[in-house]
Structure 1
Amino acid sequence: MGLFRSSEILGIAESALEFALAASEEAHPNEYMGMLRGEDASNLGLDRDGTVLSEVLVVPGTKSNPVSAEFKPIHAPNDLSAAGSIHSHPNGVLRPSTADLGTFSRNHVHIIIGAPYGQEDWQAFDRDGEEIELPVLDIDPPEEEFFDFTQEDIDRELREEDNR
């Protein structure tokens, strides 16, 4: 069955889209580029089969200028939940270029964000470069535990040190 219960993309988390819009505006006049991480809808409390685009992954070493953005595939995160790509077009054109189409076959969905980077200044495409509807979902991605200890653990450790 694969990583996700269904490969159907149900939508993009509002927080992921907002991050990408802000990053695109900050990168202007250069292009912005990132990868989209997918999360099984059931892990987000949705009672549906499918995948939600939940986060934008920033790829180290991405090079960009006003007409392109690229990264070496070796620098891409080794992340099995990668489900798509997202990048900006500082000229505001919400259509894939020939170069964009050459990379679209690698994932399920691709989003282009255009200047001036507002809530309506983006369009999603399938791997063939055809426009698709992609709902924006008001969901909270699950919190990932970066550290495997809590504040209680720290306090306990400090008390033990004081008692030594």
Structure 2
Amino acid sequence: MGLFRSSEILGIADSALEFALAASEEAHPNEYMGMLRGEEASNLGLAEDGTVLSEVLVVPGTKTNPVSAEFKPINTPNDLSAAGSIHSHPNGVLRPSAADRSTFSRNHVHIIVGAPYGREDWQAFDRDGEPIDLPVLDVDPPEEEFFDFTQEDIDNELRGDEE
């Protein structure tokens, strides 16, 4: 059994795609690279079973230049919800290179965005490097709380109050 109830990728959140397009444009003329976090569709208010690519995870220590982007696997966020990868091709070519294909087996979906980084300048691929259709979904990823306590909790702890 996989991490998600259904390993089917239903689409990518509009906000995640917008982030990746903007980050790719900002990195130009170098490549941009990130991981894609998946979220259960039901957590996003969708009635379907499956996963939505909801967020782009930035990998610390990523090295880029105009023809490649790489990171050490040890720097990959320890995030079990990683469901794909995304990177840019500053030359605008929306086809995976041999190097791209060699990394595709690690996740469900891989997206390449190309210059000039507009709404139509991207393509999704499956594990085998074959193009796939990936709908852009208008969903809001759930807000994550970095801390699971409030100032009131801290004050109660300092006073020695019991819950």
| TM bucket, shorter chain | over 0.9
Counterpart residue number, 2:54: 54
Matches within 5 A, 1:78-117: 78-117=78-117
Aligned length: 158
Alpha-carbon deviations, 1:52-103, whole Å to 9, x = none?
A: 0000000000000000000000000111111000000000000000100000
Gaps of 5+ in 2: none
> How far does residue 148 in structure 1 lie from its aligned partner after superposition?
2.0
Distance 1:12 1:30 in 2: 24
* Superposition deviation, residue 149 in structure 1: 2.9
Counterparts of 1:148 and 1:72, CA distance in 2: 30
Q: Secondary structure of the equivalent of 1:87?
A: strand
* Map 1:70-81 → 2, pairs under 5 A: 70-81=70-81
Q: Find out whether 1:122 has 2:125 as its counterpart.
A: no
Please say if 1:64 is aligned against 2:64.
yes
Question: What residue number does 1:148 align with?
Answer: 148
> Following the alignment from structure 2 to structure 1, what is the Cα–Cα distance between the partners of residues 128 and 49?
23
TM-score for the superposition, normalised by structure 1? 0.92
CA RMSD of aligned residues (A): 1.6
Q: Which structure 1 segments of 5+ residues have no match? A: none
Q: Say which SS state the counterpart of residue 105 (structure 2) adopts.
A: helix
Large movers: runs of 4+ above 6 Å: none
What amino acid is the match of 1:35?
M
The residue identity in structure 2 corresponding to 1:13 is: A
What is the alpha-carbon distance in structure 2 between the residues aligned to residue 110 and residue 40 of structure 1?
18
Report the Cα distance in structure 2 between the residues aligned to 1:30 and 1:94, rounded to whole angstroms: 15
Return the alpha-carbon distance in structure 2 between the equivalents of residues 11 and 129 of structure 1: 17
Post-superposition offset of 1:129 = 0.5
